[in-house]
Amino acid sequence: MPSEHDGHRKRLKARFVKSGLDDFEPHNALELLLFYAIPRKDTNPIAHRLINRFGSFSAVFDAKPEELAKVEGITENTAVLISMIPQLARKYLEDKADARNLIGSFNDIGTYLLPKFVGRTVETIILAALDNKNKIISCSIIAEGENDRASLSKRKVMEEAIRVGATRVIIAHNHPRGFAVPSKEDLILTKEVYFLLKSVDIELVDHIIFAEDDFVSLSASGFDFRRK
């Protein structure tokens, strides 16, 4: 015999199929996701507990699986499912981005790289390598931080650029809990990387800093890292 929960689940699913998630409250959207990991329980109170525990809808998905599993009603499988969502979103957005296009401005490369930082909760540094036609030939993570701070080896930047046969490169990194504003260390590092790459005839085109859905280009901001 269908339970009250079964009827509620059916209505919530039908609402999503008809109208999408736009009109869902955060706890309802999370509740719907939990249907697929918790088949026999009322997931509404579990969704509320998660949001109350971590402070917001997005913070639930940024939480580590071991922290999620401490919440009543969350199993290991459920914790893994929740943790997958930001990374699935990143894969989806990266796949939609068309790397075959030529990069014509800092806004082009910023728009292309932005999805690569979705769901990243620690500082991550990415190297985008370009050929002499400004086409991206490689895009790789070259450093990830612990405690929100990544340490970048300038030699590793050079070695990776040489390995992929880059003519020009762009460095990008995120400020997971800050603003898209360069620090003094960012400015110094950019100059050092520029001159190291110049010594092997590779041009550092830009250093772009990301924070949530915002990004700032050092080159477009007027910072002249080409002068000692």
Contact predicate 113/139, CB 8 Å: yes
> In degrees, to the nearest 5, what angle opens at C-alpha 107 toward C-alphas 193 and 162?
30
User: Which are the contacts of 196, defined by CB distance < 8 A and separation ≥ 6?
Assistant: 154, 155, 157, 158
pLDDT by residue (tens digit) across 186-197? Answer: 999 999 999 999
Tokens 């910023």 sit at which residue? 110
- At residue 14, φ and ψ (nearest 5 deg) are -65, -40
**Can you spell out the DSSP letters for 71-98?**
STT--HHHHHHHHHHHHHHHHHHHHHS-
CA quadruple 175, 178, 181, 182: dihedral sign? negative
Side-chain half-sphere exposure of 140, counting CA atoms within 13 A: 13
Model confidence over 15-59: pLDDT tens digits? 999 999 999 999 999 999 999 999 888 999 999 999 999 999 999
The whole-number pLDDT of residue 101 equals 62
Single-letter amino acid, residue 22: D
**Percentage of the chain surpassing pLDDT 90?**
69
Q: Where are the beta strands (DSSP E) in the chain?
A: 124-130, 136-144, 168-174, 203-211, 214-217
> pLDDT-based confidence at 178, cuts 50/70/90?
confident
Is 0.85 topped by the overall pTM? no
Average pLDDT over residues 85-93: 92
Pairwise CA distance, residues 209 & 78, whole Å: 33
Identify residue 32 by its one-letter amino acid code: L
- Return d(Cα 19, Cα 127) in angstroms, integer: 39
Cα gap 140→79, rounded to integer Å: 28
